[in-house]
Chain A
Amino acid sequence: MARTGTLQLEREEQAPSWWRTNATAMLFMGPAAILVIVFFFVPVLLTLGMSFTDIATATGLSGWQWIGTANYEQIFRGSFTGLIVRNTVIYVLLVLTFNVLVGLGVALLTVHVRDQVGGFFRAVWLLPRISPSVVYALMWTWAAAPPPFGIINEFVAPFGVAPRFWMNTDPWMFILFLNGFVGASLGMLIFTSAIESIPEDLFRAARVDGANAWQIVRRITVPLIRWPILFVLVYQSMSLLASYEYILLTTNGGPGLYITEVWSLWAFHTALQSYAGNLEIGLGAAMAAILVLVGVAVSAFLLRAFRFNDLVSEPRVEIT
């Protein structure tokens, strides 16, 4: 980078300042920029392009044809599309609610107890997030296994719940807990630091006025951390929309007719997994492209809602 900069400088006398002033920045930004271009932008363009083709195992990457919007038409007309959209919405809403509520609950509770104890519990909640997905999925699969193996059955037995194979009989509850415990830690950490930065005077004043704990949480804490909450909502819904690894490793979209198949997993299955032969890469690309468009829209909202200009112009960035 630097070398090009100097060369350029010597040759073109008209525009020396741009290269001179930006050579260092280019040097610093170069590797990151290249990786972002090669592994984010080009794949998006390729995916958009492929979504208008009939690329599949049977065509290979050389014998394909442009087929216009046929893939998109097939998606919109397909008998499963409605079901999968519904699943995706349920999945995002359910897990998101769990993540935010439990994250908030744990954050409130851990600042409420002694510091070491709070730290311990926060640490435990971080565990699912930093464990290999394969091992974490394995633990839940076995916990939900049919009798006599699974442990969930043992815990619910005293409440008169008949033993069962939870992953199959209640797949959504299974998916909710599996993903919920992973995602809650994000909200928990952000909320914890947000709550800790609320000036103590506010609480003191409220207590002097005779407010109880619940009123303090409702009237003071939650309103004051509404930005972090909104942030977690948007950020997390975006991550959930794109994530499928835990479902892939457990129910894999089943049981039954796409009961737990979500959009991103559908795209993965269509493009890359086939029990009896043909990977529909073009169709899968169209599915992915739709997801990217939704993702960009949500992110645009995110940037807008969080006053992106404030974020980048300040030397130190805060979200509250």
Chain B
Amino acid sequence: MAAIARPLPRSGGVSWTSAIPYAVLLLFTLPILILYGWLIYGSFFPSMQGLRPVGGFTLENWRFLWAPETVEALRFKPPIIPLTINTFIFALSTALVVLLISSMAGYALSRIRFPGRRTFLGGVLLLHSFPSVTLLIATFIILRQLRLYDQLVGVILVKTAFELPFGVWIMKGFFDNVSWDLEMAALVDGASRLRTWWQVVMPLVKPGLLALGLLAFVSGWNEFLLPFVFMPSGTQQTLSVVLRAILNEGRFVDYGLLTAVGLYYVAPILLVFFFAQDRLMKVYAGGVKG
């Protein structure tokens, strides 16, 4: 499939021109490769001046994992391990709630005729690129009324709502792809809609659920603005908020430590990415495509 834009096979060996696209691609991509490479490399040296490490290889920067009390920059910060657990709980809860709610709505939008369906679909598309992050104060007032300000569950709900348009649209796409036949059979046999959905259709979209779940998890793991504004003082702060606080501490700027903490924070994402990149890419493409 991907062969379409390729030049016709040539009779003689490899021409130098066929190397051009590789070279151009590499050149374009180099900044990203260098940035990430540098992050990894820099975390094992006391400090970096440009690409040159200052001092020899060391694991000192990682001592925030086993001897956090010796790290001056973290002295008044919540300990890293509980922060990691908080971030994980936040990401996982967001992913689960997003999955549940979007697969329900996606199923209804794909299968059931009901008044308001078109409006909702249009609305979902519209909300997809909605400037919700500029409505933070209004969202704060709502959370305050619900007594969910500075509560993990409040931030999870807001995050879920923000992820929902994407999730619903994706899940609708996956359900659209499932053939009617099995479902029909179940319904004709008298199974309820809910039961059919849960027991017959959901297993068929497992790959989709997995992909959307991963995406929602990644998005929750990375989230900065929502916990920053809505959950600032709780004991359940997340890594992003604390990392930003350390970053702001311009005076220390212990580059080595910060690269290590940064890499620690991004590492789970990199892992997810290496094991599931194909799946993620399909959903990203599909998300806007339908």
**Residues of A near any B CB (own CB < 8 A):** 21-22, 24-29, 31-33, 35-36, 38-40, 42-44, 46-47, 50, 61, 102, 105-106, 108-113, 115, 117-119, 121-135, 138-143, 147-151, 153-154, 177, 181, 185-186, 189-190, 192-193, 195-196, 198, 200, 203, 207, 213, 216-217, 221, 231-232, 235, 238-239, 241-245, 249, 264, 267-268, 271-272, 281, 284-285, 287-288, 291-292, 295-296, 298-300, 302-303, 308, 311-312, 315-319
Q: Which of B22, B105, B128 makes the CB contact (< 8 A) with A31? A: B105
Measured CA separation A255–B162 after assembly (Å): 31
* 13 A–B contacts from the bound complex (CB under 8 Å): A28-B105, A28-B193, A36-B161, A40-B127, A108-B5, A133-B240, A135-B266, A138-B243, A143-B35, A287-B134, A292-B134, A302-B129, A315-B176
Number of A-B pairs, beta carbon distance below 8 Å:
315
Measured CA separation A291–B6 after assembly (Å): 44
Is B126's beta carbon under 8 Å from chain A? yes
Q: Which of B7, B218, B255, B289 makes the CB contact (< 8 A) with A193? A: B289
Please state if B101 and A319 are interface contacts (CB–CB under 8 Å): no
Please state if B112 and A24 are interface contacts (CB–CB under 8 Å): yes
Measured CA separation A189–B221 after assembly (Å): 22
Residues of A within 8 A of B280 (CB): 126, 130
Residues of A within 8 A of B110 (CB): 315
User: 1/0 per position for B118-158, CB-CB distance to A under 8 A?
Assistant: 10111101111111111111110110000000000000011
Please state if B247 and A267 are interface contacts (CB–CB under 8 Å): no
Measured CA separation A189–B158 after assembly (Å): 28
Please state if A132 and B142 are interface contacts (CB–CB under 8 Å): no
Please state if A189 and B285 are interface contacts (CB–CB under 8 Å): yes
Please state if A203 and B5 are interface contacts (CB–CB under 8 Å): yes
Please state if A138 and B258 are interface contacts (CB–CB under 8 Å): yes
Please state if A186 and B288 are interface contacts (CB–CB under 8 Å): yes
**Residues of B near any A CB (own CB < 8 A):** 1-8, 21-22, 24-25, 28-29, 31-36, 38-39, 48-51, 100-102, 104-105, 107-110, 112-115, 117-118, 120-123, 125-139, 141-142, 157-158, 160-162, 164, 168, 172-173, 176-177, 193-194, 197, 218, 221-222, 224-225, 229, 239-240, 243-244, 247, 255, 258, 262-263, 265-266, 269-270, 272-273, 277-278, 280-281, 284-285, 288-290
Residues of B within 8 A of A203 (CB): 4-5
Which secondary structure characterizes the binding site on chain A?
Answer: helix
Please state if A319 and B29 are interface contacts (CB–CB under 8 Å): no
Please state if B137 and A198 are interface contacts (CB–CB under 8 Å): no
Please state if B281 and A126 are interface contacts (CB–CB under 8 Å): yes
Are A113 and B25 CB-contacts (below 8 A) given A25-B108, A148-B50?
Answer: yes
Please state if B177 and A268 are interface contacts (CB–CB under 8 Å): no
Please state if B25 and A50 are interface contacts (CB–CB under 8 Å): no
Please state if A303 and B158 are interface contacts (CB–CB under 8 Å): no
Q: Which 3 A-B pairs rank lowest in CB-CB distance, beginning with the nearest?
A: A242-B131, A317-B290, A39-B161
In the assembled complex, the CB of A181 is this many whole angstroms from the nearest CB of chain B, namely: 6
In the assembled complex, the CB of B197 is this many whole angstroms from the nearest CB of chain A, namely: 8
Task: Given contacts A124-B29, A216-B5, list 8 more A-B pairs with CB under 8 A.
Answer: A29-B120, A38-B157, A43-B142, A110-B2, A126-B281, A138-B262, A151-B51, A302-B129
Measured CA separation A119–B126 after assembly (Å): 31
Please state if A154 and B51 are interface contacts (CB–CB under 8 Å): yes
Please state if A196 and B1 are interface contacts (CB–CB under 8 Å): yes
Q: Which A-chain residue is minimally distant from B229 (CB atoms)?
A: A272
Q: Which B-chain residue is minimally distant from A201 (CB atoms)?
A: B4
Residues of A within 8 A of B113 (CB): 25
Please state if A124 and B284 are interface contacts (CB–CB under 8 Å): no
Residues of B within 8 A of A147 (CB): 50
Q: Which of B22, B123, B131, B138 makes the CB contact (< 8 A) with A42? A: B138
In the assembled complex, the CB of B87 is this many whole angstroms from the nearest CB of chain A, namely: 10
In the assembled complex, the CB of B17 is this many whole angstroms from the nearest CB of chain A, namely: 9
Please state if A43 and B132 are interface contacts (CB–CB under 8 Å): yes
Q: Which A-chain residue is minimally distant from B130 (CB atoms)?
A: A295
Measured CA separation A127–B273 after assembly (Å): 8
Residues of A within 8 A of B138 (CB): 42-44, 46-47, 50, 285
Residues of A within 8 A of B29 (CB): 106, 121, 124-125
Please state if A50 and B137 are interface contacts (CB–CB under 8 Å): yes
Measured CA separation A112–B1 after assembly (Å): 11
Q: Which A-chain residue is minimally distant from B7 (CB atoms)?
A: A213
Residues of B within 8 A of A241 (CB): 131
Measured CA separation A27–B8 after assembly (Å): 55
